[in-house]
Amino acid sequence: MINGPEMKIFTGSAHPQLAADIATYLGQGLSDATVTTFPDGESFVKINDNIRGRDIFIVQPTCPPTNQNIMELLIMVDAARRASANRITAVIPFFGYARQDRKDQPRVPITAKLVANILVAAGVQRVLTMDLHAQQLQGFFDIPVDHLYALPVMVKHIRSMELSNLVVVSPDVGGVKMASAYAEALGAGLAIVVKRRCSATEVEPLHVIGDVEGKNVLIVDDITETAGTLVSAAKILKTLGVGDIYAGVSHAVLTDLSIERLKDSEIKQLITTDSVPGSEDVEGRVKRLSIAELLGEGIRRIHRGESVSSLFRVK
């Protein structure tokens, strides 16, 4: 597809800075679109560039306000489809509703599947995303999904910190696979915190499996919003005589509650990405790494019809 349709990159209002950084990496500007909200809360989109027959990429993480950002993405996709775009790829660095991926109680929806259905119905023909809460979410789509990982970006930075005697910790049993991948990439040990969830914002750590005494610790997870899991894990780890405690999280959707918890926690620094917007540093404790190059390279390869699997490799 090197000599195929021209590539055009658009952004919604969710994270224009990330979209601009991606466009800069690809050596082009963002395409022109008007994206506004009427006084009654309705979204309005007008694509100002000619996109007939073009290869369209719309960058829009569906982070809070989640419903607003999803609706805005759907409207942009519909506008592009009606403007005769050749192909529409939704670039969703953070996929909202990803944790509602199964029916774990009677009479509840599987909202992640619903969102996938709506995106396809709107006209999305391909999805580029990163670190889904569960990999099986790719199967919710009846279109191609390119699933990238923040691990290469995170590991590069963590290596530069030169942490000695490091153990990677999964804050729950479900995150063991991710923690194991980080441990292997960093040449570190592996441990697991066994927890019990008390509510949507509260968790209770029970015990730790693995040798952590006297070690520096990196707690890894895919997402944090309230920071309850991270802070609780750090608390029990500190009682076991660990050294410095760091957290590595792909998506940090920080709220006022999580910021206060991080300030009062044993976590020295939270290392995350700019998959969602955020300028808070919580007294220097939050480090956001750019994923513009990772996503930009993914977009370039999709446009050219090349494989994206080599982007998973840790150099």
Residue 271's identity, in one-letter code, is I
Q: Which of 46, 103, 113, 195 is catalytic?
A: 195
Position 203 scores a pLDDT of 60
Based on the fold, state whether residues 144 and 181 are members of the same structural domain. no
Which residue(s) pair with 56 in the sheet?
A: 8, 88
Based on the fold, state whether residues 168 and 214 are members of the same structural domain. yes
Note whether residue 111 is domain-resident.
yes
Note whether residue 191 is domain-resident.
yes
Averaged pLDDT for residues 13-23: 98
Q: Please say if 195 is a catalytic residue.
A: yes
Averaged pLDDT for residues 164-184: 94
C-alpha radius of gyration, the chain, whole number: 20
Based on the fold, state whether residues 11 and 144 are members of the same structural domain. yes
Report the percent of the chain where pLDDT is more than 90. 84
- Residue that is written with structure tokens 């050596």 in the block: 27
| Residue 204 predicted with pLDDT over 80 | no
Note whether residue 306 is domain-resident.
yes
Position 173 scores a pLDDT of 84
Range of the domain at 104: 7-148+292-312
**Domains in the chain: how many in total?**
2
Based on the fold, state whether residues 64 and 88 are members of the same structural domain. yes
Based on the fold, state whether residues 279 and 299 are members of the same structural domain. no
Position 1 scores a pLDDT of 41
Mode of pairing for the β-strands spanning 189-197 and 203-209: antiparallel
Based on the fold, state whether residues 33 and 61 are members of the same structural domain. yes
CB proximity list for 296: less than 8 A, separation 6 or greater = 21, 22, 23, 25, 26
Report the percent of the chain where pLDDT is more than 70. 95
Note whether residue 2 is domain-resident.
no
Task: For 236-246, write each residue's pLDDT tens digit.
Answer: 999 999 999 99
Position 234 scores a pLDDT of 94
Averaged pLDDT for residues 140-156: 96
The b/e string for 40-51 (b: 16+ C-beta within 10 A; e otherwise) is eeebebebeeeb
Averaged pLDDT for residues 34-46: 96
Based on the fold, state whether residues 135 and 175 are members of the same structural domain. no
Position 194 scores a pLDDT of 84
